[in-house]
Structure 1
Amino acid sequence: MPDTLRIAWSSTHQEFLITDSYYFSILAKESQKQGLIIEEVSEFPSLFLYDVIVFNYPEQPFSEEEISQIKRAVIEGHKRVIFAAHFQNKDNVAYICSQVAQHFGMRASPGEVMDRENCLIDDPYIIVTSNVLTYNQGVQKVVFPYTAPIEIYGPARIVLKGMATTYTKEGQASPILMAERVLAGGGSFLLSGSCVFWDNFSIGQLDNLKFILNLLKGPF
């Protein structure tokens, strides 16, 4: 990994913004301590000047040309791209994320994930899981609120799954919550079912901070 990793947090498609300190001040501060510089970027072409590109809850659909640029950035430019969705296809975000993610063998379902046993503050949508399969150095459990289930149908790997007590609205147990496609050239595409696992509430819970830092640093 470079000494300083530059991360573009997109504001090009009406995303939740890193500059909204009510939600993301801890993420910005803790990342900087680790040499991860997160900058909000409003011009789409400028995103690809960074090592990592984050689209957190994009509400505006991507054009075919934009999708092609993202694919080239991952495949040819060896960039790391992260998309974060939300449960119940709120604001059509799961579908918008899936328009891009399907090119990497995964999609965010328009459904929801619940766990009435492993959850916080008696909210079954604020699930807790120890099934952290990747980026798990120093990580035992994470909280993963309001997540969509992830479907994979290609060479993507599972990053995070629900517990045996976790289920989708359709009754599927232990659903996938986060998946990633890592390419031989070094680029990667990651799809998260939740966009709030790194907000100011979640980041201080359990091992979320360590997991988030591991994830942002990626497979470099």
Structure 2
Amino acid sequence: MTKVAWSITHQEFIISDHYYFSKLERYTKENSIIVEEVDKFEKLADYDVIVFNYPEIPFTKEEADFIEELVKKGKKVGIYAYYKNEDSIADRCNTLSERFGIKFNGDIVTDDVNNYDNDNLLITTTDIFPKLKEKGIQKVMLACTDTLTIAENVKPLIKAENTAISKLGKEKILFAKYDDPSGGCFIAGGTCVFWDNYSIDLYNNKEFSLALLMKKNG
């Protein structure tokens, strides 16, 4: 049993929004994942996994310190953004993610070849970290995604295909993970809508979403 804190401390998208996330809510229940919306920052420490899905308020130094300590204590933390620095989302996420060697670039990624429904912003990719592929995650659709610049101690989880184009000319890393020696980790994703009702049943998005929410993953 995994307990997940879905943060609403920074005005994130709420998982209880039926129109967008009813499928994700159902799938978590079917897989013994308890997800609770949390509105008090200090209460995040009571959970195994912490999710910041499109935070609309920057993180303070004290909040970043707090999350850094939680990762050092073995917690799993994920933060998920959007493309082209919409609403300054990349800047806000960077106030936390840069602590872990990950920078959101405020980029736009398109792919005229590997995409869903002939829409070059709904990119698809099979360039996925091997341990995730072992879990059956062979292909995902990542809509309206940013790119990430990562430090040497951070590993890419998902990259765009060679046919994709970064508007800023960046390396096409879309999801990345910092592993702490404690067993905790920090995951960053260039898009926050890979697990909404539109996307989650496409390809292996469901399996990928559940892997991110489980206490242990690749």
Question: Normalised by the size of structure 1, how large is the TM-score?
Answer: 0.94
Helix, strand or coil: the match of 2:99?
A: helix
The answer to whether the 8 Å contact 1:186/1:219 transfers is no
The residue aligned with 2:160 is 162
The one-letter amino acid paired with 1:112 is: I
Gaps of 5+ in 2: none
Of stretches 40-49 and 134-143 in structure 1, the one that deviates more from structure 2 is 134-143
The residue aligned with 1:217 is 214
Deviations 1:164-207 (A, max 9, x none): 1011003446x000000011111100000000000001101011
The one-letter amino acid paired with 1:147 is: T
The one-letter amino acid paired with 2:153 is: P
The answer to whether the 8 Å contact 2:48/2:215 transfers is no
Helix, strand or coil: the match of 2:103?
A: strand
Deviations 1:48-102 (A, max 9, x none): 1100000000010111111110111101x21100000100111111111111111
CA-atom RMSD in angstroms: 1.2
The aligned runs of 1:66-215 (5 Å cut-off) are: 66-75=63-72, 77-133=73-129, 134-136=131-133, 137-172=135-170, 175-215=172-212
Helix, strand or coil: the match of 1:135?
A: helix
Equivalent residue in structure 2 for 1:52, among 46, 49, 53: 49
May I ask how many residue pairs the two structures share in their alignment?
215
Gaps of 5+ in 1: none
1:17 is the counterpart of 2:14: yes
The answer to whether the 8 Å contact 1:132/1:160 transfers is yes
The answer to whether the 8 Å contact 1:86/1:146 transfers is yes
1:26 is the counterpart of 2:29: no
Q: Distance in 2 between matches of 1:132 and 1:211?
A: 10
> Per-residue deviation at 1:219?
3.2
The one-letter amino acid paired with 1:54 is: V
Deviations 1:139-186 (A, max 9, x none): 21100001100110230111000001011003446x000000011111
Q: Percent identity?
A: 38
The one-letter amino acid paired with 1:125 is: L
The one-letter amino acid paired with 1:90 is: E
